[in-house]
């Protein structure tokens, strides 16, 4: 019986059945299994039917069904069974060495399995889009050696202009993913309700970009989702939250209590794939949006991410050159017309890069785009560590197998005398290796399942064991076979090469001592361990440096009340009421704060009157109120703070020290500078970190403006709980329809370095695993060495050797190997961590103490590992060691 051509069982399982079964049973057996498969398929899903078929196939792999070819070689079957029996008996007989081998391999396989899940998840980003291989993000590339950079923001007209000029571009679209007018976060409610809910994940997007991304539609049509002004597209999750069980098309949402501009639901799409780089639940249309007069048709300002979909067969490298040439052709005259000297840099250094959408997640380091990304370096780091841990476990297996060669020499000699071929011996030893690996793989899968929550915490992922995936079992079988073969191949050929006469006569006993190869392997194991220890210490040191460094402001005891943009004209009332609480020392309001997730506004600055002579200085322009500097504990180096009662301060700026240097101001207070209008500098604030410490501190100007979506509150209290209750009660009195939402500035600051913390956790976690695996092997080797030298030790004791002499005798060679490991690992770890630290503008000096601590730690652990067997041998009664003779 043949299965339905449209619905067929897994091909690999069918082929396995045909390969295993003899001709006399295959037709009947296959027909029965196909019939069962068809019945299951009619009653349930294809997935369940596939699993059932695979289970039936494996249950059918029994001796009675073996191919005729196998039956001709019953000796082979008998030998396989014998090999398995001998291997199992060996594991039971040498329990300690078996536990060491299995434990090491189990840990290595656990690490490999967890890392594999991580890597598969990281490499699987942005693959769900239709024609994803033709979708690109347009990147600005500035190669000026004085001020290089890569960023995603383009002028409003870029996307449409490129599509209009180049027929090779099938579609182009725009996105505003950062805080910009309504994009970012908002207080949300239905137009027929009064209670607000805070939501993040708002972004402006035009209709054509939505069509490029081709999301699955729940309600509405893709072609009309964002076509109308003031339309919004919701994900299924948000649609169910605000319009449960309803079709929300045509219904309205109010954002930040702006009742005059309601947003009409134009469509509902499926929830975002967790592996897409765009994770927005509210997509706001750009149709007819003009944020200021002429904004959509000017080369003035860059606020839009631009996405391009090329036609089939178009070379993106050629398109980059064409698009950059068009940009320079139109942008440079615009700059020249306004006397902006930046046109020279555009002409010399500005290029475009088309970044494949599949590369955005892992290859965006160094590109300014505010989105959360992974890092291909982290993927390689995790992968390398997992491979090394598995390799360390394999080294344990090889070392212990070859170290015990003398114990098996007579067995090999006798087998050869009675007629065993070398191939039979190799088969025996590989069977033992693969049996150990299969046991280790089963334990490794169980451990991975138990450890995956901890691994998720370290990696910042939400991974799950793929227990329902069909490929898991075949993959684990293949892994066990590959690892077992790799770990066992050298011992198998090494042991099987013994000559019968030498093996039986005992002349191979000297081979039990530490060989050069085993020494090299031990050095490799501990070198890897030292590198990981040094990495852990330096990452920890850098993290502590960033958390404790003088930031130029005081982040402690600052409560950030968020979602204040909906409060309207009650902002002054809120601030005044909060100041009545005794523990509240000062209150300010701003959209701009020196932590990630708050607003940024890049501008160009000149000394007034020189905008057509000098190149502009890029810098941030932040709107703050007169209490901002006091509340955040910043330091005024020159001049004065803002005065809310002075009308003159509406055209005044306070700039940071970097701005002073960049503009070349010798006497900054009273100087006149400009961006699109002129200002008077009234003060200079000490430089403070407002971005990650990976970046240098850039120029920044503070401008007086009494508006903000965040209200920072400086608190001084010994009873934080009571103070928070008082603040919450004050908020509830003023905003009864909106729950208070707050966080602490120091906690938000720490979250900026979650990736660094994760890297440190990875180093620390895998350092422990690597050291444990290496010490398992060292313990096994020391135990075996003591066993082999027991007669020598007993004779030395009879002749008067002290415990100290015996201990030194047994540990000296091992400690020499540890010393060599340190000499190799220290320069390698220094180089690697210097490379890692090069990503940070502000970083620690590595210093010699890190290497001293790592050396002492690995030496102490090694001494403790080998001391047990060495001391036991040193204090044992010599009669015990000689009795067997």
Vertex 644 angle, CA 640 and 650, to 5°: 85
Tokens of 787: 């066993």
Which of the given ranges, 59-73, 367-381, 482-496, has the highest pLDDT on average? 367-381
| Structure confidence by residue, pLDDT tens digits, 247-273 | 999 999 999 888 999 999 999 999 999
Tokens of 186: 């908002």
* DSSP 8-state symbol, 697: P
* DSSP 8-state symbol, 250: T
CA distance 533 to 850: 9
Tokens of 586: 């000062």
Q: How confident is the model at residue 799 (pLDDT cuts 50, 70, 90)?
A: confident
CA distance 181 to 175: 13
The pairing of beta strand 367-368 with beta strand 231-235: unpaired
Measured between its terminal Cα atoms, the distance across the chain in Å is: 70
**Element housing 448 (H / E):** helix 422-459
| Structure confidence by residue, pLDDT tens digits, 332-347 | 999 998 888 888 889 9
Count other C-beta atoms under 10 Å from residue 735's C-beta. 20
Q: Which of 35-39, 491-495, 639-643 has the lowest mean pLDDT?
A: 491-495
Q: 252 pairs with which residues across the strands?
A: 264
| Structure confidence by residue, pLDDT tens digits, 110-148 | 988 998 898 889 888 898 898 999 999 999 999 988 888
Q: How confident is the model at residue 815 (pLDDT cuts 50, 70, 90)?
A: confident
Strands of 270-323, DSSP E: 282-285, 302-310
Q: Which of 88-102, 508-522, 729-743 has the lowest mean pLDDT?
A: 508-522
Q: How confident is the model at residue 669 (pLDDT cuts 50, 70, 90)?
A: very high
Tell me how far apart the 2 most distant CA atoms of the chain are, in Å. 107
CA distance 498 to 33: 49
More confident residue, 790 or 537: 537
What pLDDT score was predicted for residue 883? 61
* Residue environment code for 556-568, b if the CB has 16+ CB neighbours within 10 A, otherwise e: ebbbbbbbbbbbe
What pLDDT score was predicted for residue 511? 45
What pLDDT score was predicted for residue 878? 67
CA distance 519 to 521: 5
| Structure confidence by residue, pLDDT tens digits, 197-216 | 889 899 999 999 999 999 99
Mean pLDDT of the residues in the chain:
85
| Structure confidence by residue, pLDDT tens digits, 733-782 | 998 888 899 999 999 898 888 878 888 888 788 888 888 888 887 877 77
What pLDDT score was predicted for residue 487? 78
Per-position DSSP letters for 293-323, written without gaps between them = TTGGG-SS-EEEEEEEEEPTT--HHHHHHHH
Which of the given ranges, 188-192, 231-235, 419-423, 662-666, has the highest pLDDT on average? 231-235
What pLDDT score was predicted for residue 403? 64
Return the axis-axis angle of helices 95-123 and 754-788, rounded to nearest 10°. 160
Whether the full predicted model's pTM is greater than 0.85, yes or no, is no
């Amino acid at each position: 019986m043949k299965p339905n051509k449209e619905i067929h069982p897994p091909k690999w399982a069918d082929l396995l059945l045909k390969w295993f079964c003899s001709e006399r049973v295959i037709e009947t057996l296959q027909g029965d299994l196909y019939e069962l498969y068809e019945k299951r398929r009619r009653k349930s899903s294809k997935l369940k039917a596939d699993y059932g078929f695979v289970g039936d196939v494996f249950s059918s792999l029994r001796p009675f069904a073996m191919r005729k070819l196998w039956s001709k070689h019953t000796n082979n079957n008998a030998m396989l069974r014998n090999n398995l029996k001998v291997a199992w008996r060996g594991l039971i007989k040498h329990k300690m060495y078996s536990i060491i081998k299995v434990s090491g391999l189990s840990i290595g396989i656990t690490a490999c399995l967890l890392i594999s899940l991580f890597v598969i998840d990281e490499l699987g980003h942005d693959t769900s889009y239709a024609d994803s291989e033709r979708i690109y993000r347009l990147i600005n590339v500035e190669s000026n050696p004085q001020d290089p950079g890569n960023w995603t923001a383009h002028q409003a007209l870029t996307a449409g202009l490129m599509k209009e000029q180049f027929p090779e571009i099938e579609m182009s679209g725009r996105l505003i993913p950062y805080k910009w007018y309504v994009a970012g976060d908002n207080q949300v409610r239905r137009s027929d309700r009064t209670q607000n809910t805070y939501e993040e994940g708002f972004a402006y997007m035009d209709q054509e970009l939505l069509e490029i991304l081709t999301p699955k539609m729940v309600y509405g049509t893709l072609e009309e989702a964002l076509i109308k002004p003031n339309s919004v597209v919701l994900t299924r999750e948000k649609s169910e939250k605000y319009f449960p069980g309803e079709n929300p098309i045509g219904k309205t949402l109010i954002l930040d209590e702006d009742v005059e501009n309601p947003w009409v639901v134009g469509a509902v799409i499926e929830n975002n794939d967790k592996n897409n780089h765009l994770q927005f639940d509210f997509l706001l249309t750009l149709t007819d949006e003009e944020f200021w007069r002429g904004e959509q048709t000017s080369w003035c300002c860059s606020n839009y991410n631009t996405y391009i979909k090329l036609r089939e067969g178009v070379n993106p490298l050629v398109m980059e050159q064409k698009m950059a040439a068009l940009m320079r052709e139109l942008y440079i005259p615009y700059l020249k017309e306004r006397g902006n000297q930046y046109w020279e840099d555009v002409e010399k250094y500005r290029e475009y890069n088309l970044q494949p959408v599949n590369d955005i997640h892992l290859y965006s380091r160094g590109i300014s785009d505010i989105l959360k990304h992974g890092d291909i370096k982290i993927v390689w780091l995790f992968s390398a560590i997992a491979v090394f841990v598995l390799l360390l476990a394999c080294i344990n297996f090889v070392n212990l197998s070859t170290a015990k060669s003398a114990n098996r020499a007579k067995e090999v000699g006798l087998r050869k005398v009675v007629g065993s071929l070398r191939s039979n011996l190799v088969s025996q030893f590989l069977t033992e290796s693969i049996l150990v690996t299969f046991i280790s793989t089963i334990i490794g899968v169980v451990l991975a399942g138990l450890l995956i929550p901890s691994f998720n915490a370290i990696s910042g992922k939400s991974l799950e064991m793929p227990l329902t995936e069909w490929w898991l079992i075949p993959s684990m079988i293949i892994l066990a076979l590959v690892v077992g073969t790799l770990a066992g191949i050298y011992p198998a050929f090494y042991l099987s090469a013994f000559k019968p006469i030498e093996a039986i006569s005992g002349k191979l006993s000297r081979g039990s001592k530490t060989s050069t190869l085993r020494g090299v392997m031990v050095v490799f194991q501990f070198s890897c361990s030292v590198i990981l220890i040094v990495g852990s210490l330096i990452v920890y040191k850098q993290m502590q440096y960033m958390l404790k460094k003088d930031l130029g402001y005081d982040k402690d005891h600052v409560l950030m009340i968020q979602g204040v943009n909906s409060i309207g004209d009650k902002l002054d009332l809120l601030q005044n009421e909060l100041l009545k609480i005794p523990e509240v020392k000062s209150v300010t309001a701003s959209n701009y704060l020196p932590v990630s997730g708050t607003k940024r506004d890049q501008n160009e600055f000149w000394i007034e009157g020189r905008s057509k002579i000098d190149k502009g200085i890029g810098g941030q322009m932040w709107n703050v109120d007169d209490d901002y500097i006091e509340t955040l504990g910043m330091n005024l180096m020159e001049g004065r703070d803002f005065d809310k009662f002075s009308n003159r301060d509406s055209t005044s700026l306070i700039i940071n020290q970097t701005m002073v240097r960049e503009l070349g101001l010798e006497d900054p207070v009273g100087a006149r500078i400009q961006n699109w209008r002129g200002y008077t500098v009234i003060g200079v604030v000490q430089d403070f970190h407002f971005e990650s410490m990976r970046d240098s501190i850039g120029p920044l100007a503070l401008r007086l403006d009494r508006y903000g979506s965040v209200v920072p509150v400086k608190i001084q209290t010994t009873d934080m709980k009571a103070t928070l209750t008082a603040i919450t009660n004050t908020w509830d009195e003023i905003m009864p329809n909106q729950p208070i939402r707050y966080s602490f500035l120091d906690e938000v600051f720490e979250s900026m370095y979650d990736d660094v913390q994760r890297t440190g956790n990875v180093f620390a976690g895998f350092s422990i695993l690597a050291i444990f695996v290496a010490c398992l092997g060292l313990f096994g080797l020391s135990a075996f060495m003591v066993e082999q030298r027991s007669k020598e030790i007993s004779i030395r004791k009879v002749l008067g050797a002290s415990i100290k002499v015996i201990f030194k005798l047994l540990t000296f060679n091992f400690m020499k190997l540890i010393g060599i490991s340190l000499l190799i690992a220290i320069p390698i770890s220094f180089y690697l961590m210097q490379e890692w630290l090069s990503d940070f503008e502000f970083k620690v000096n590595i210093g010699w103490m890190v290497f001293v601590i790592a050396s002492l730690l690995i030496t102490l652990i090694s001494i403790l590992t080998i001391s047990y067997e060495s001391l036991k041998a040193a204090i044992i009664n010599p009669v015990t060691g000689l009795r067997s003779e």
